[in-house]
Amino acid sequence: MRVFLSICLVFLITSCNAENGIVTVSIDEDFSEIQDPRERWQAYQLSDYQIVQQRICECLGLEYTTLIIADSVQKISYDSKRTDEYDEFALRNAITIDQAFDLIEEYGDIAASISVKYHPKFGYPERLFIDINEMTADEEIIYEIRDLKKIKD
């Protein structure tokens, strides 16, 4: 009986962590003492992970889960509200966390304003708002990123 319960427990734990055939594991390390958000993010050395993100714009803004393998967007998935237009939008706009940091650096000296909220433990940008030109409408770059999960090796 004890063996049967152990097998059931392993199955339940694995099932709860598997999304879209991907198995995720918890991130036990804690580098939250590192002050610089990008350095904190890099300390975790994650190149295979999954995040939920949203590129917010004037017309589209559904959340999508993004699978990143070897620091590259491999796949996106989202709920049933999708359309062909949204498929194209999400594929074109999905980014990695490193790319989010790159946007901050790229526009740091030239944007009218930048506002970033960083995750307290992992350092990645949870909310990124870049207003490139305050006199132009609908040119802002806005991302929300959450639910970081490490892909099991």
Q: Report which residue type is found at 25.
A: V
Q: Which residues pair with 68 in a beta bridge?
A: 49, 73
The model carries a pTM of 0.79
Encode the chain (153 residues) as per-residue pLDDT tens digits: 443 333 333 333 333 445 557 899 999 999 999 999 999 999 999 999 999 998 887 655 678 888 999 999 988 887 666 666 667 777 788 999 999 999 999 999 999 999 999 999 999 999 999 999 888 777 789 999 999 999 987
Distance separating alpha carbons of residues 66 and 54, to the nearest angstrom: 10
Residues 103-136 as b or e (16 or more Cβ within 10 Å = b): bbeebeeebeebebebbeebbbbbbbbbbeeeee
Q: How is residue 57 written in tokens?
A: 């714009």
